[in-house]
Amino acid sequence: MSRAHPSLASLAFLVGTWRGRGNGRYPTIEPFEYVEEAVFTPGPGKPFIAYRQRTRRAGAGEPLHSESGYIRPGGTDGTELVIAQPTGIVEVHTGEIDGDQVHFRSTEVRTSSTAVDVSRVERYIRVVGDTMRYRLWMAAVGQPLQVHLEAELTRV
Amino acid sequence: MSRAHPSLASLAFLVGTWRGRGNGRYPTIEPFEYVEEAVFTPGPGKPFIAYRQRTRRAGAGEPLHSESGYIRPGGTDGTELVIAQPTGIVEVHTGEIDGDQVHFRSTEVRTSSTAVDVSRVERYIRVVGDTMRYRLWMAAVGQPLQVHLEAELTRV
Least confident range from A40-49, A115-124, A129-138, B112-121: namely A40-49
**B105 CA: distance to closest CA in chain A (Å):** 12
**Which residue of B112, B116, B119, B123 is the best one to mutate when testing the A interface, meaning the one whose CB has the most A CBs within 10 A?**
B112
R_g (Cα) of chain B, nearest Å: 15
The pLDDT of residue A1 is above 50: no
Report pLDDT digits (tens) over A8-20: 889 999 999 999 9
Report pLDDT digits (tens) over B56-101: 999 989 999 999 999 999 866 689 999 999 999 999 999 999 999 9
Q: What per-residue confidence (pLDDT) applies to A43?
A: 86
Least confident range from A48-57, B1-10, B60-69: namely B1-10
Contact A90 B92 (CB under 8 A): yes
Contact A90 B82 (CB under 8 A): yes
Report pLDDT digits (tens) over A58-79: 998 999 999 999 999 986 668 9
Tell me if B120 sits within 8 A of B109, measured CB to CB: yes
What's the average model confidence in pLDDT over A94-106? 95
Report pLDDT digits (tens) over B127-145: 999 999 999 999 999 999 9
Report pLDDT digits (tens) over A105-131: 999 999 998 899 999 999 999 999 999
Tell me if B16 sits within 8 A of B41, measured CB to CB: no
**Rounded-to-integer distance, Cα B156 and Cα B54, Å:** 15
Minimal Cβ distance to A75: which of B45, B92, B113: B113
**A92 CA: distance to closest CA in chain B (Å):** 6
Minimal Cβ distance to B114: which of A68, A80, A108: A80
Q: Look at residue B3 and give its three-state secondary structure.
A: coil
pLDDT interval class at B4 (50, 70, 90): low
Q: What per-residue confidence (pLDDT) applies to B39?
A: 98
Least confident range from A42-56, A67-81, A98-112, B39-53: namely A67-81
Give the A:B interface size as CB pairs under 8 Å. 126
In percent, how much of chain B has pLDDT > 90? 85
pLDDT interval class at B44 (50, 70, 90): confident
| pTM of this structure | 0.94
The pLDDT of residue B23 is above 50: yes
B47: DSSP letter: S
The pLDDT of residue A3 is above 70: no
**Rounded-to-integer distance, Cα B37 and Cα A28, Å:** 41
Q: Look at residue A7 and give its three-state secondary structure.
A: helix
pLDDT interval class at A144 (50, 70, 90): very high
Q: What per-residue confidence (pLDDT) applies to B43?
A: 85
The CB-based long-range contact list for B139-147 (8 Å cut-off, 24+ gap) reads B140/B26, B140/B28, B140/B116, B141/B28, B141/B116, B141/B117, B142/B117, B143/B26, B143/B27, B143/B28, B145/B120, B146/B26, B146/B27, B147/B25
Minimal Cβ distance to A63: which of B46, B76, B80: B46
Is residue A119 left, alpha or beta, with left meaning phi > 0 and alpha meaning psi from -120 to 50? Answer: alpha
Residues of B whose CB is below 8 A from A83: 84, 90
Residue A51: closest CA among B144, B84, B131, B80:
B84
Q: What per-residue confidence (pLDDT) applies to A6?
A: 59
Strands in B27-144 per DSSP E: 29-42, 49-57, 63-73, 78-85, 89-98, 101-111, 118-128, 131-140
The answer, yes or no, to whether ipTM is higher than 0.85 is yes
Mean residue pLDDT of chain B comes to 93
**B42 CA: distance to closest CA in chain A (Å):** 11
Minimal Cβ distance to A113: which of B75, B86, B90: B75
Residues of A whose CB is below 8 A from B44: 63
Contact B110 A90 (CB under 8 A): yes
Contact A70 B80 (CB under 8 A): no
Residues of A whose CB is below 8 A from B52: 68
Contact B46 A86 (CB under 8 A): yes
**B99 CA: distance to closest CA in chain A (Å):** 22
Q: What per-residue confidence (pLDDT) applies to A75?
A: 64
